[in-house]
Amino acid sequence: MIQINENYTKLQASYLFVEIARRVADFQKNNPGKEIIKMGIGDVTKPLPEACLKAFHEGVDELASETTFKGYGPERGYEFLRKAIAEQDYKSRGADISPDDIFISDGAKCDTGNIQELFAKEIRVAIPDPVYPVYVDTNVMAGRTGTATDQRYEGLTYLEGTEENGFVPSPEGVEADLIYLCFPNNPTGATATKEQLKAWVDYARANKALILFDAAYVAFIRNPEIPHTIFEIPGAEEVAVEFRSYSKTAGFTGTRCAYTVIPSACKVWDSTGKEYALKDLWNRRHSTKFNGVSYPVQKAAAAVYSPEGQKQVRDLIDYYLKNAAIILEKMTEAGFSCTGGTNSPYIWVKTGTDSWETFDRILNEAGVVVTPGSGFGRCGEGFIRISAFNSLENVQKAMDRIAAALK
């Protein structure tokens, strides 16, 4: 008899964005011809920057000739891309990251989901609430939790993000070995200051803990005071891993390219106290279970770092930030308290009503898809998340319709 991993039975029936897609498909079936504006899942709508497209085409052309053809690539990714990342994403911010600390992959979702495999089942895991569901679900799949009651899995520590703490939980009173953080935050759009990140880094250093820092939305930071990487915080290289992605930065949600940074100084231990470089363990996993991102895609990603690429990416993000500003303004005008919308593509709106009911109401009455806050955890109840990834025209239309539906 083939027996299942019963941890899967502890999961909710379907993944948040799958459930949303199901409800939208039902709505479409029952209301054929009705226009729907999608501002739920953070999926980009604008084409790839021209510099990336050009490099992508060149990469494909190289595969057409025997002299420039490429088969399997280097296990960590092509050096031209890792060098550009080290220089322009890290050294430029004073963070001492070397190309060898960087692992190119097909997504921050996969990397944040997979990395927990490297750690013992018994570790204490702290996860924010509200949160990107991947962090919770992958720990459930791995058997680090009991069952869930009222959206809380037994065995997990929840770091509550509330209006009171500005959706930036602090390490005070926390006992954890593995800590997930995401800033600019998905779903709340909140950002963390240097002092707030330093508190977590100090906690991790004092407790031999590890921080998994998801920086997928870093490109949306416009305030120079906000840290762009956790490695701007002294000592973070000993206790943190950072995940980044080209999905939201350069429109790669369908193209797939991301990277994970594990500095050489980041150490972990076995049950006898023997020390290991985390980077070596991840390299072992990566080279066993992953065969790399295709050459043309890595070439396209590297074009982000060219002068034209930098300008085009900035224009692209500015476009979505303008949408975010409109959403923030309209929802505030409609009388709702909001977080995010500046330095972030997400606007976290307090409706004070049941999240899924509000989702259904907005879908049915406004023909707009948002994300119900409770889908991100218990603390998200009473909120909805609106994503700025759409055309300006659609955003303007959607905001008028949502404001009318929620009156």
Minimum distance from residue 385 beta carbon to ligand MLT (Å): 8
Q: Using the rule CB under 6 A, is 42 a contact of ligand MLT?
A: yes
Q: 43 or 232: whose CB is closer to ligand MLT? A: 43
Task: Report helix, strand or coil for 149.
Answer: strand
- Comparing CB distances to ligand MLT, the nearer of 22 and 284 is 22
Q: List Cβ neighbours of 363 (8 Å cut-off, separation of 6 or more).
A: 23, 24, 27, 36, 369
The Cα 339–Cα 164 span in angstroms is 12
104 touches 244 (CB < 8 A): no
Q: Binding segment for ligand MLT among 36-44, 123-131, 152-160, 302-310 (CB under 6 A)?
A: 36-44
Assign residue 325 a region (left: φ > 0; alpha: ψ between -120 and 50; beta: otherwise): alpha
Applying CB under 6 A, among 11, 24, 36, 41 the residue interacting with ligand MLT is: 41
Nearer to ligand MLT, 78 or 346 (CB): 346
Stretch that binds ligand MLT, among 1-9, 39-47, 94-102, 333-341 (CB under 6 A): 39-47
The closest alpha carbon to 25, from 297, 287, 363, belongs to 363
Distance CA 143, CA 134 (A): 14
Q: Among all chains, which residue has been given the structure tokens 């891309």?
A: 81
**Which C-beta is closer to ligand MLT: that of 41 or that of 199?**
41
**Is the Cβ of residue 130 or residue 292 nearer to ligand MLT in the bound state?**
130
**Minimum CB separation from ligand MLT for residue 206, in Å?**
32
Pairing of strands 125-129, 178-182: parallel
CB-count exposure of residue 66 (10 Å: 0-12, 13-18, 19+): exposed
Q: How far is CA 265 from the centre of its chain?
A: 24
Residue 109 lies near ligand MLT (rule: CB under 6 A): yes
> Which lies closer to ligand MLT via its Cβ, residue 36 or residue 41?
41
Give the other-Cβ count within 10 Å of 150's Cβ.
5
CB of 132 to ligand MLT, least distance (A): 6
Applying CB under 6 A, does 82 fall inside the site for ligand MLT? no
One character per residue 43-62, x = contact with ligand MLT (rule: CB under 6 A): x-------------------
CB 400 → ligand MLT: shortest distance, Å?
23
The reply to whether 38 sits near ligand MLT by the rule CB under 6 A is: no
> Strand 240-245 relative to strand 210-214: parallel, antiparallel, unpaired?
parallel
Backbone angles phi, psi at 86, to 5 degrees: -60, -45
**Tokens of residue 181, six digits:** 């953080």
Q: Which residue is nearest to ligand MLT (CB)?
A: 42
The answer to whether residue 128 forms part of the interface with ligand MLT (CB under 6 A) is no
Residue 42 or 184 having the CB closest to ligand MLT: 42
Q: Which amino acid is at 262?
A: I
Q: How many residues bind ligand MLT (CB under 6 A)?
A: 6
| φ, ψ at 302 (rounded to 5°) | -65, -30
The CB-of-258 to ligand MLT minimum distance in angstroms stands at: 10
Site for ligand MLT in 300-339 (CB under 6 A): none
**Chosen residue from 185, 186, 294, 390 binding ligand MLT by CB under 6 A:** 186
6 by Cβ neighbours in 10 Å (0-12 / 13-18 / 19+) ranks as exposed
Residues of this chain that interact with ligand MLT (CB under 6 A) are 41-43, 109, 132, 186
